C-alpha cells in the first residue's frame, strides 16, 4: 500500500484530473435544493470509491495508457458534466432521473425550452472553461514509473470489482453522473424500440370492448390537450384579469369547471404518456400491455383523428408519438409554426366529413408554451400591466418579468378563444357531442422566486394545478344521467383514460371505474407529481407566499 501512495504522490496532476471529473459535481451538491442529505452523501461516497479504484489501477499502467484512459473519460464526461453543473450552479438543482431521460427525447420544443431556461452567455463561457481545464491537465501530466502489477493482485482485483459494481448496479450507477447518462440513454433507446414494436403488434390482436351508450345519432367526442396553462391565470378560476371572457359565458350546466385537478408530472412527454395510456408509476409495463386512448376508440369502431400543433413524428421521436400514430387520420401542423387557430383547417374538415360516423378527435395545442409572445396573433395583445395595474407586486417582479406575465396572459386569452370556438362549432353541428379540455401541466410565473416555467426539480403548485373543463351537449349529457358531475373531486390526469372510457360508456377488462372522475364509484386517492406527493408540494409552498 505504501508503494502505491508513493507513486500517487508523484502523480498529483493525475489525481487532480480524476478529482475534477469525478468529485467536483458531488462536492457541489450542497447547492442542490432538491436532494436530501442522504442522497448527497451517497453521491459523494460512490464517486469517492470510484476515484480511489481508478487511481489505484492507474498506478500499474504506463503513462501513455493512463493518458488514453483519461482522454476517454473526458470525452464521455464533459457534456453530461456541463449539463449537470449548469443546472446545479444556475438552478440549484441536481437533475433527477426522469429529467435525464427527457434529455434524450428529441422533441425540439422541449429542447428549446431547456435552452431557453438555462442557457445564457455565462453558461456557454463556463462550459468552455470547464472543458478546457482537464484538456490542459492531460497535456501537462508528467511521466512516472508504474508499479509491477503481479505483486499487487489483491489491490487490482478489489479496484476492478468496485468499478464493475458501480457501473453495473443501476441504483449505484445513478450516483456517477456520466455513467448514469449513458446507462439511461441505452435503457431509453431499448425501451422506446420495444414499445413501438409491441404497441403496433397488439393492434391486430383481438380485444373485447363494448359501449353502453351506443346511439343512432353519431357521437363526436373531442379531447383538447393544452400546453403550460396554469389555472391561476384563468379568470374562470378567479384570476383578476379577464382572461376567459368567452368561456365564462357558459352556464355551469353546460361547462363544468373542475377545481381540483393536477397533472401527474410537469413536463409534456411524461404527462402525455400517462394521460393517454394506462401506464402508472407501479406498472410502467401497462404502457405496452394495455390499450391506450386512441386504440380504445378505434376498437369501438369510431373514426379517430389526431390534430397536433406540437412536434410529432410517425417515426416516434417523442416517446408518446407512438400513441398518437394510432389515429386513423393525422394532421400535423407543427412544421408550419402557426398559431393554434391553424388546427381549425383540420377541425372544420373533420366536422364536415364522415357525418354518419362516431368520431373521436384528439387535439394537441401549442397553447401557452414558453416564449409566450409567439403564441398569439397581435389582435390578442391585450394586457398591459402599466395600464391595468393588475399584476401583483413582488420583489422579483421587475419590468421584464411583468411584461412576460402580460404576454402569458395574452396567450391565455387566445386559448380562451380557441376552445370557445371549438365548443360553438360542436354546438351548431353535432347534437351528440362533448369536449374535454385540460392542460398537460401548469406554469409558474414569478410566483415565489425569480423563475418562470415548469421544471420537475422545482415543482410548485402552479406547475401542476391544471384547468380541466368539460362541455357536453344537452342530448349527450341527458344520456349520461348515471354519471356524477362533481367539479370538486380531487383528481389527477394520470387516470384520464379511465374518465374518458367512463364517459364513453366503455366496458373492457382492465377498466377501473374508481379512477373515473365521472363515476359514482370514484374513490379519491393520494396524488403524486411523479415521485413527489402533491400534499407535500402544497405544504412546501405555503399558499400565503403566492
| Interface residue list for Zn ion (CB under 5 A) | 227, 268, 440
**Distance in Å, CB of 496 to Zn ion, minimum:** 15
Nearest to 112 by CA among 334, 271, 332, 321: 334
Kindly tell me which of 255 and 269 has the beta carbon lying closer to Zn ion. Answer: 269
Kindly tell me which of 229 and 500 has the beta carbon lying closer to Zn ion. Answer: 229
- CA triple 348-350-354, angle to 5 deg: 135
Q: Per-residue DSSP letters for 504-520?
A: TTEEETT--GGG-TT-T
**Distance in Å, CB of 227 to Zn ion, minimum:** 5
**Distance in Å, CB of 440 to Zn ion, minimum:** 4
**Distance in Å, CB of 456 to Zn ion, minimum:** 12
Residue at shortest CB range from Zn ion = 268
CA distance 300 to 511: 14
**Distance in Å, CB of 185 to Zn ion, minimum:** 22
- CA triple 334-339-344, angle to 5 deg: 85
| Cell numbers standing for residue 251 | 352556464
**Distance in Å, CB of 241 to Zn ion, minimum:** 22
| Cell numbers standing for residue 495 | 387516470
100 Cβ partners below 8 Å, 6+ apart? 180, 181, 184
Task: Return the residue matching grid coordinates 457534456.
Answer: 79
Kindly tell me which of 227 and 502 has the beta carbon lying closer to Zn ion. Answer: 227
**Distance in Å, CB of 344 to Zn ion, minimum:** 22
**Distance in Å, CB of 418 to Zn ion, minimum:** 16
454 Cβ partners below 8 Å, 6+ apart? 228, 266, 267, 441, 442, 443, 444, 463
Kindly tell me which of 28 and 334 has the beta carbon lying closer to Zn ion. Answer: 334
**Distance in Å, CB of 349 to Zn ion, minimum:** 26
Nearest to 110 by CA among 269, 313, 335, 319: 269
Kindly tell me which of 107 and 504 has the beta carbon lying closer to Zn ion. Answer: 107
Kindly tell me which of 111 and 382 has the beta carbon lying closer to Zn ion. Answer: 111
CA 337 to chain centre: 21
Kindly tell me which of 293 and 483 has the beta carbon lying closer to Zn ion. Answer: 293
Kindly tell me which of 268 and 460 has the beta carbon lying closer to Zn ion. Answer: 268
15 Cβ partners below 8 Å, 6+ apart? 8, 55
DSSP code of 382?
Answer: -
For residues 136 and 70, the answer to whether their CB atoms sit within 8 Å is no
Kindly tell me which of 230 and 268 has the beta carbon lying closer to Zn ion. Answer: 268
CA distance 185 to 191: 10
410 Cβ partners below 8 Å, 6+ apart? 372, 373, 375, 376, 380, 381, 382, 383
Amino acid at each position: 500500500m505504501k508503494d502505491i501512495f508513493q507513486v500517487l504522490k508523484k502523480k498529483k496532476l493525475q489525481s487532480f484530473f480524476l478529482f475534477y471529473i469525478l468529485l467536483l459535481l458531488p462536492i457541489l451538491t450542497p447547492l442542490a435544493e432538491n436532494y436530501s442529505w442522504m442522497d448527497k452523501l451517497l453521491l459523494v461516497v460512490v464517486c469517492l470509491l470510484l476515484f480511489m479504484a481508478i487511481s489505484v489501477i492507474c498506478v500499474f499502467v504506463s503513462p501513455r495508457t493512463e493518458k488514453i484512459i483519461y482522454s476517454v473519460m473526458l470525452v464521455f464526461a464533459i457534456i453530461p458534466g456541463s449539463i449537470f453543473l449548469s443546472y446545479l450552479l444556475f438552478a440549484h438543482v441536481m437533475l433527477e432521473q426522469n429529467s435525464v431521460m427527457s434529455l434524450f427525447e428529441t422533441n425540439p420544443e422541449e429542447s428549446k425550452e431547456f435552452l431557453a431556461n438555462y442557457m445564457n452567455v455565462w453558461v456557454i463561457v463556463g462550459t468552455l472553461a470547464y472543458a478546457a481545464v482537464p484538456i490542459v491537465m492531460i497535456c501537462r501530466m508528467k511521466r512516472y514509473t508504474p508499479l509491477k502489477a503481479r505483486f499487487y493482485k489483491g489491490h487490482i482485483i478489489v479496484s476492478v470489482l468496485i468499478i464493475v459494481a458501480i457501473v453495473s448496479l443501476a441504483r449505484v450507477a445513478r450516483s456517477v453522473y456520466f455513467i448514469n447518462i449513458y446507462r439511461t440513454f441505452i435503457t431509453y433507446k431499448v425501451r422506446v424500440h420495444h414499445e413501438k414494436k409491441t404497441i403496433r403488434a397488439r393492434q391486430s390482436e383481438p380485444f373485447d370492448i363494448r359501449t353502453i351508450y351506443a346511439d343512432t345519432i353519431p357521437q363526436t367526442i373531442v379531447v383538447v390537450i393544452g400546453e403550460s396553462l396554469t389555472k391561476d391565470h384563468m379568470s374562470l378560476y378567479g384570476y383578476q384579469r379577464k382572461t376567459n371572457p368567452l368561456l365564462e359565458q357558459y352556464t355551469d350546466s353546460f361547462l363544468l369547471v373542475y377545481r381540483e385537478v393536477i397533472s401527474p408530472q410537469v413536463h409534456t412527454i411524461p404527462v402525455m404518456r400517462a394521460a393517454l395510456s394506462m401506464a402508472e408509476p407501479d406498472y410502467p409495463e401497462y404502457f405496452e400491455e394495455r390499450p391506450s386512448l386512441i386504440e380504445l376508440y378505434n376498437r369501438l369502431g369510431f373514426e379517430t383523428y389526431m390534430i397536433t400543433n406540437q412536434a410529432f413524428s410517425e417515426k416516434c421521436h417523442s416517446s408518446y408519438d407512438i400513441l398518437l400514430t394510432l389515429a386513423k387520420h393525422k394532421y400535423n401542423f407543427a412544421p408550419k409554426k402557426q398559431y393554434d387557430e391553424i388546427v381549425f383547417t383540420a377541425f372544420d374538415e373533420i366536422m364536415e366529413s364522415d357525418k354518419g360516423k362516431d368520431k373521436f378527435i384528439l387535439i394537441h395545442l401549442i397553447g401557452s408554451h414558453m416564449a409566450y409572445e409567439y403564441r398569439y396573433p397581435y389582435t390578442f395583445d391585450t394586457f398591459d400591466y402599466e395600464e391595468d395595474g393588475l399584476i401583483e407586486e413582488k420583489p422579483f417582479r421587475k419590468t421584464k418579468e411583468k411584461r412576460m406575465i402580460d404576454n402569458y396572459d395574452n396567450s391565455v386569452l387566445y386559448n380562451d378563444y380557441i376552445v370557445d370556438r371549438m365548443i360553438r362549432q360542436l354546438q351548431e353541428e353535432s347534437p351528440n357531442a362533448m369536449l374535454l379540455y385540460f392542460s398537460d401541466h401548469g406554469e409558474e410565473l414569478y410566483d415565489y422566486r425569480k423563475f418562470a416555467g415548469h421544471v420537475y426539480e422545482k415543482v410548485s403548485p402552479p406547475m401542476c394545478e391544471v384547468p380541466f373543463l368539460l362541455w357536453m351537449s344537452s342530448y349527450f349529457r341527458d344520456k349520461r344521467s348515471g354519471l356524477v358531475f362533481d367539479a370538486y373531486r380531487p383528481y389527477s390526469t394520470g387516470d384520464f383514460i379511465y374518465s374518458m372510457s367512463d364517459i364513453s360508456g366503455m366496458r373492457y377488462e382492465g377498466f377501473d371505474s374508481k379512477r373515473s372522475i365521472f363515476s359514482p364509484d370514484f374513490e379519491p386517492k393520494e396524488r403524486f407529481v411523479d415521485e413527489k406527493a402533491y400534499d407535500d408540494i402544497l405544504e412546501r409552498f405555503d399558499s400565503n407566499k403566492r
